[in-house]
Amino acid sequence: MEYFLELFLGGLTRGSIYALIALGYTMVYGIIQLINFAHGEIYMIGAFTALIIASVLTVAGFNQIAIILIAAMVAIIYSSAYGYTVEKIAYKPLRHAPRLSALISAIGMSLFLQNYVLLAQTSDFLPFPSLIPEFEFIKPYSHIIRSSEIVIFIVTAIVMVLLTFLIKFTKIGKAMRATAQDREMAMLTGVDVNRVISVTFIVGSGTAAIGGVLIASHIGQINFYIGFLAGLKAFIAAVLGGIGSIPGAVLGSLILGCTESFFTGYVSSDYEDVFAFLFLVTVLIFRPAGILGRSDTEKV
């Protein structure tokens, strides 16, 4: 039973990390039907920024809570700026081009950012400090769950609630929903579509940066390539949950994380990815739009 619990919690942690990245994919897709392949790289840039800031602050002698808050804040701002710029440079000029062009542009941007960080930073793995403190009350249970895992769950939950709130109850959220439904109609009714898209990229990149900081601090190492696999898995999770849907992205991520964890724990890690993809295919056969996706979005 304890083993089951450990695997379950491990799966939830993995799923929460996927979720923080998947949210960005799903939001962007929901609004402009673009798969933003550079999203994984934004996550990686967030982790790198946090590492640099945290190193500087540690030398300057700040306390741990201040370090993680400032580092996360700077990472979010920096990544958001990247997300905003990427959209302006790589996607906006292609907004009326065929969808395939924008997709290629996204893949190009992903490779560009990866290689940029490779050249500007280093190809080596870098140690990332454990920014999340080890809480005292969790000590007796540390063999089952670590405080960094608890922090990851809580942050993911908060981010999801805030995003849902943003989309459902704010003016910009309303504009986002309008843009998602029908961009031209939204424009005619006075919605500043360009601004809405920019905000979407900023928010999506910000959540990816949070993911980057949390996972890097949980795992303890980063390099320029971490965004690729994490981004790919998060994308799968977003599709599994129903791309375009916020709760769907979180649900899909948690299911994917737990599936991988249980499969590794009870069967074998050799075929972990095979099983994850098999599961995805099976779900998509029965629910082509994903678990929470709506298939009635075709506009007449």
Partner 1 sequence: MKKHLGSLFINAITFIAVTFLVGTFFYSCTAQDEPAADKTAKVLEPIRIGVAGSHSGDLASFGIPAKRAAELVVAKRNAMAGINGRKIELVVEDDVCKPEIATNTATKLVTDKVHVVLGHICSGATKAALGIYKAENIVVMSPSATNPALTQSGDYPNFFRTIASDDEQARLEVDFALNTLKLKKIAVLHDKGDYGKGLAEYAKSFLEDDPRAQLVLYEGITPGAVDYSAVVQKIKRSRAQAVIFGGYHPEASKIITQMRKRGMKTIFISDDGVKDDTFIKVAGKYAEGAYATGPQDTSSNPLTIEATQAHKERYGEDFGAFFLNSYSATLALINALEKSCSTDYDDIVNALRTEYVATPVGIIRFDERGDAIGVGFSVYQVINGVYVEVK
Give the residues lining the site for partner 1 (CB under 8 A). Answer: 3, 6-7, 10-11, 13-14, 17-18, 118, 123-127, 142-143, 146, 215, 218-221, 223, 225-226, 228-230, 233, 260-262, 264-265, 268-270, 272-273
Report the nearest approach of partner 1 to the CB of residue 156 (Å): 14
Q: What is the DSSP string of 173-207?
A: HHHHHHHHH-HHHHHHTT--HHHHHHHHHHHHHHH
Q: Which is nearer to partner 1, 39 or 146 (CB)?
A: 146
Tell me whether residue 7 or residue 239 sits nearer to partner 1 (CB atom): 7
Rounded to the nearest whole angstrom, what is the least distance from the CB of residue 279 to partner 1 in the complex? 15
- Ramachandran category for residue 206: left, alpha or beta (phi over 0 → left; psi -120 to 50 → alpha): alpha
Backbone angles phi, psi at 222, to 5 degrees: -140, 155
Nearer to partner 1 by C-beta: 10 or 24?
10
Rounded-to-integer distance, Cα 45 and Cα 30, Å: 24
* DSSP notation for 109-153: HHHHHHHHHHHHS-SS-EE----S---GGGGGGTTT--HHHHHHH
- Token readout for 52 is 């640099």
Comparison of 183 and 233: residue with beta carbon closer to partner 1: 233
Helix (H) / strand (E) element for 222: namely strand 221-222
Q: How far is Cα 41 from Cα 39, in angstroms, rounded to an integer? A: 5
User: For residues 101 and 122, which CB has a smaller minimum distance to partner 1 in the complex?
Assistant: 122
- The CB-of-89 to partner 1 minimum distance in angstroms stands at 25
Q: How far is the CB of 143 from partner 1 (least distance, A)?
A: 6
Q: From the CB of 30, what's the least distance to partner 1, in Å? A: 24
